[in-house]
Amino acid sequence: MIRFVRILAALGALSVGLSCASAPTSGPDAFPLDPREGLAGPFPAQVEKGWSELRQGKAAAAEAEFEAASRPTPKIAAEIGRVEALVVADRPRDALPLCRKLLSAGEPTVPLLVACGEAHSRSGDPVVAHTLYRQALARASNRPRLAARADELRSSARDWLVVAARAAAQDEKWKEARSEIARAIELAPDNSAVRRAAGEIEEAAGEAEKALSRYREAIELDSKDHEAAEKVGELALAVKDYALAVSIFDKLAGEDPRFAPRAEEARHAFRVANWPAPEREAAQSLKLTRAGAATLVWWMYPEIREARVSGGVIASDALSRRDSRAITRAVALGLLEVDRDTHRVNPAAHLGAVSASRLLLRLLLVVAPADRELPCLGGSRRVPRAAADSLAAAVGCGLLPEDEAGVISGPVFTKALDRVRALASPESEPGEQ
């Protein structure tokens, strides 16, 4: 009996110096974790006490206990506890050197990976933090709160990488930018915003085709990503993939009226893409010349080539030009005015809004049947003489936009020529005018 009591006393004395002889099989499901988890005992009593202090949020007391447990020889559980205590005490950067030492010393435990993950996260590096949490989850099963935290860090790491990639692109460090955005895509393969960011980087690098591919990936992932879709449409126009541009902008216009003008521009570009070079250049020009306007009328209205003319006006500066037939026909029909004193039509001059309005109204009167009513002209078949009146009539007929007052562009003029055709067509209803 005396011997049995002595054994019990010895066991009690041992329990004062050491905590349990083996690591707990289960414990908390979120940081901080029991630093003894995954390690074989025995453990100094100070580790148990430090863990108790840490669970109560007493970081300074816990750190002191863990430091005491590591004297004179460092103990792994105590060192892990120190990392946790430093992070809880809001001193994550102080924990990083200790993390580097412990992580390189051997096979890391789940508590060490999680603690160092938190140290990196709270030091502003979610990318490394997420990597460490993933490693922890590979060693731990059925830890939903750890998995949830890893997902949070994945999102933060993704955003951090996107910001880093954009910063590198701003400095024209294209290799670095592509590397960072590739890592972001790896973290979030189904995120359209990341693919859009990748497209922006390629676009900034001057790689239009690669950018277009990335933007298309974005809208494949999210058909409602209008920002990516708009970029696809714009780049499609830039690389002259007009069919793609039309399909994109038509779809956008169906969902948001703001895109209707771009859809119309895309259709215009698609339409003129295969026109002969002179007509195509005129139709796409930002500032249409008078010769360009004559060329477009000649191309889009074959009937005026055979129209009867009675005037004998000659434009001396058009006779030697390659486009002389189009210009002289426009002059003969009164579509373009010639200076009576110099006999010049100034074909290279830009077409202003007033000249364009008179040209379009006169063309309408030429091609519209004599019995065709033109309510937008107030029942008259004459072009107003005053500049302001002719411009107002062209706007009233829907030939020119209300705010068109400067030089006319090729797309605006081409659209106006289509409108003339619609007004003159017997199939159109008066209400359409």
Asked if residue 5 belongs to a domain, the reply is no
Q: Are residues 135 and 255 in the same domain?
A: no
Q: Are residues 294 and 418 in the same domain?
A: yes
User: Domain limits at 425?
Assistant: 277-432
pLDDT at 106: 85
Q: List pLDDT tens digits, range 350-387.
A: 999 999 999 999 999 999 888 878 888 877 778 888 99
Asked if residue 268 belongs to a domain, the reply is yes
Asked if residue 289 belongs to a domain, the reply is yes
Q: Are residues 318 and 403 in the same domain?
A: yes
Question: Where a domain ends, among 118, 153, 188?
Answer: 153
Question: Where a domain ends, among 272, 296, 330?
Answer: 272
Q: List pLDDT tens digits, range 101-148.
A: 999 988 999 999 999 999 999 999 999 999 999 999 999 888 999 999
- Structural domains in the chain (count): 3
Q: Are residues 33 and 130 in the same domain?
A: yes
Higher pLDDT among residues 160 and 21, named by residue: 160
pLDDT at 308: 73
Largest CA distance in the chain: 141
Mean pLDDT of 192-196: 96
Measured between alpha carbons, how far is 145 from 279 in angstroms, rounded to an integer? 67
pLDDT exceeds 80 at position 217: yes
pLDDT at 411: 92
Q: What CATH code is carried by the domain that includes residue 246?
A: 1.25.40.10
Q: Are residues 248 and 374 in the same domain?
A: no
Q: Are residues 126 and 165 in the same domain?
A: no
Asked if residue 7 belongs to a domain, the reply is no
Q: Taken in order 116, 118, 120, 125, is the CA torsion positive or negative?
A: positive
Helical residues (DSSP H) of 140-191, grouped into ranges:
144-170, 174-187
Q: Are residues 197 and 93 in the same domain?
A: no
pLDDT at 319: 84
Burial class (CB in 10 A: 0-12, 13-18, 19+), 165: buried
Backbone angles phi, psi at 71, to 5 degrees: -100, 135
Mean pLDDT of 27-55: 91
Q: Are residues 323 and 419 in the same domain?
A: yes
Q: Are residues 126 and 63 in the same domain?
A: yes
Mean pLDDT of 41-47: 92
Q: Are residues 197 and 124 in the same domain?
A: no
Q: Are residues 381 and 393 in the same domain?
A: yes
Q: At what angle do helices 410-424 and 260-272 cross, to 10 degrees?
A: 90
Question: Where a domain ends, among 213, 242, 272?
Answer: 272
Q: Are residues 294 and 421 in the same domain?
A: yes
